[in-house]
Amino acid sequence: MKTEKRRRSFTRGVSVLITMFFFFVVIYALISMFVSQIVPSITNLVSNYDTYIENATNVINKLLEDNPDVGNYLIKLVNQYSGNFEDWLNEKLLSISTGGEILKKISLGVYNVINVLLDWIIGIIISIYLLTSKEKFAGQAKKM
């Protein structure tokens, strides 16, 4: 009886280890596929940034040349709101760029990353517990 129980316990542990291994392999594969698609896209955007800006400038200049009424209206809007925008940038960016505010934002980001990692670890521990005790839980559910 003891050897049967020990053998079942051993096979259950091996099956949980294999399940966790496959889980981490799948997560790694998904992350590597995601990163392998994102990195070239970002590199392409950075390398072609000047071309994109030049094309956008040409399109806007062409639009303004073809539609002088729109151009005059946009110039009036820019003149009207540029002072407000400059004041907003000075107030908001200078207040954010002070050392205390940046430190708060960085520490909040680190805290959030640590919370996510702890949630993952707790989730893995719970999944291992559920995998190792599923027959016991099934029996208890039948009794209820």
Residue 27 has a pLDDT of 92
State how far the Cα of 43 lies from the Cα of 49, in Å rounded to an integer: 10
CA-based nearest residue to 126, from 11, 7, 16: 16
Share of the chain above pLDDT 70, in %: 93
User: In the predicted model, what is the mean pLDDT of the chain?
Assistant: 85
CA-based nearest residue to 23, from 132, 137, 127: 127
pLDDT band at 97; cut points 50, 70, 90: low
Residue 118 has a pLDDT of 95
Classify residue 8 by burial, with Cβ atoms within 10 Å: 0-12, 13-18, 19+.
exposed
| Measured torsion, CA atoms of residues 59, 65, 67, 73, in degrees rounded to the nearest 10 | 90
The pTM assigned to this predicted structure is 0.55
